[in-house]
Amino acid sequence: MHSIVVVALPGVFPYELGVPARFFRAAEKGGEPLYSVTTCTLDGMPVPTNADFAVSPAADRRALDTADTIIVPPWSGAETSGDPIGLAQYADRRIVSYCTGAFTLAAAGLLDGREATTHWCASDEFGRRFPQVRLREDELFVDAGSVLTAAGASAAVDATMHLIATDHGAAVAARVAQATLAAPHRGGGQRQFIARPPVPATAAGSASDIQAWLSARIEEPLSLAAVAAGFGVSVRTLTRRFRAETGRTVGDWFADARVDRARELLETTDLLIDDVAARSGFATGAALRKHFRDRIGLSPQQYRSRFARAA
């Protein structure tokens, strides 16, 4: 039986702390459990969660010596406190982080030179502190072999279902999905949950002015020359100014803005896909589908089925 040990550090997030027991313990073959799950604290004493209660696991750090897989859920000190577990000494095991638990793995040096992910809210800080890690901030989880990192909350379930399928096959994972009402695989990355912030205004004709001007004309088939003329500058000046402030081209930003408008329409209306395309500035439904899948990782219809509020 594969031994899973989950480490509860002070300020642990209860949801992610409970994911391993709920899902790994549901994995069976021939009526026999495939995993044991033990939760420990470093000293065997209760620890507070980031909610209004504490947890009292029955094991201390000695449980780590018997682990095949070690899981680090997010905890309140994860982004600033290094690695209190001493994970480097367990580098011969499979080590998994959920959400900002990736900071603990990175502090231990386990992610150096590897691909990893964390919650999108923390990705800028993670990238700044750990430039040696190849951060894939859009992914729900990244499997780097002996190390796996997952993004926030429900992405812990995605990663856990992936591990069960990897260890024991899709049929076992499908039975766990049926028992827990979880998706065996969820398409798309973190992009489907992120609203892009505008660039702060700096001066007249700044990137934020250009964005506001374009947003008011989202349905129009605008050329760069038309945008430049709207601001009384050359195309070269427009593109240089916009790229200097945003790091992106005007066309790339405008395509994203049109996808954002399509997201809003998919969430809040029951318009046909071709009508959504027209109202968000895409010439055809096919063009919308291509840009939407390239940027969000889902088809417009898949996105609507997940996020529609008023269809």
CATH number at residue 242: 1.10.10.60
Please check whether residues 78 and 175 belong to one and the same domain. Answer: yes
Q: Which domain holds residue 161?
A: 2-192
Please check whether residues 142 and 255 belong to one and the same domain. Answer: no
Amino acid 201: pLDDT: 41
Mean pLDDT, each 10-residue run in order, the chain (311 residues): 97 97 95 97 97 95 97 97 97 97 98 95 95 91 94 90 89 87 64 52 64 85 87 88 85 88 88 93 92 88 78 42
Is 34 part of any domain? yes
Please check whether residues 108 and 174 belong to one and the same domain. Answer: yes
Return d(Cα 189, Cα 155) in angstroms, integer. 10
> Tokens for 216?
């008011």
Is 202 part of any domain? no
Instruction: Specify the DSSP class assigned to residue 196.
Output: P
Return d(Cα 24, Cα 250) in angstroms, integer. 47
Return d(Cα 37, Cα 227) in angstroms, integer. 59
Is 247 part of any domain? yes
Is 199 part of any domain? no
Please check whether residues 188 and 211 belong to one and the same domain. Answer: no
Q: Which residues contact 115 (CB under 8 A, 6 or more apart)?
A: 133, 134, 135, 136, 142, 144
Return d(Cα 91, Cα 106) in angstroms, integer. 12
Question: Positive or negative CA dihedral for 9, 10, 12, 18?
Answer: positive
Of residues 183, 208, 217, the one with CA closest to residue 298? 183
Residue pair 279/271 in contact (Cβ under 8 Å)? The answer is yes
- Cα distances (angstroms) measured from residue 197 to each of 33, 139, 208, 253: 46, 19, 11, 12
Please check whether residues 181 and 252 belong to one and the same domain. Answer: no
Amino acid 178: pLDDT: 86
64-90 burial code (b ≥16 CB/10 A, e <16): beebebbbbbbbbbbbeeebbbebeeb
**Residue 104: alpha-carbon gap to chain centroid:** 17
Is 68 part of any domain? yes
Of residues 254, 264, 278, the one with CA closest to residue 307? 264
Of residues 215, 219, 198, the one with CA closest to residue 281? 219
Please check whether residues 154 and 232 belong to one and the same domain. Answer: no
Please check whether residues 262 and 115 belong to one and the same domain. Answer: no
Q: HSE (CB half, 13 Å, CA atoms) of 169?
A: 4
Is 201 part of any domain? no
Residue pair 117/141 in contact (Cβ under 8 Å)? The answer is yes
Please check whether residues 12 and 151 belong to one and the same domain. Answer: yes
Residue pair 185/157 in contact (Cβ under 8 Å)? The answer is no
Please check whether residues 162 and 84 belong to one and the same domain. Answer: yes
Amino acid, single-letter form, for residue 230: G
* Final residue before a domain boundary, out of 192, 219, 253: 192
> Tokens for 202?
């700096």
Residue 68: give its domain's CATH number. Answer: 3.40.50.880
Is 181 part of any domain? yes
Please check whether residues 153 and 279 belong to one and the same domain. Answer: no
* Final residue before a domain boundary, out of 149, 168, 192: 192
Instruction: Give me the number of domains the chain comprises.
Output: 2
According to DSSP, the β-strands at 141-143 and 147-150 are antiparallel
Is 146 part of any domain? yes
* Final residue before a domain boundary, out of 166, 192, 218: 192
Please check whether residues 181 and 72 belong to one and the same domain. Answer: yes
Please check whether residues 297 and 228 belong to one and the same domain. Answer: yes
Helix (H, G, I), strand (E, B) or coil at 3: strand
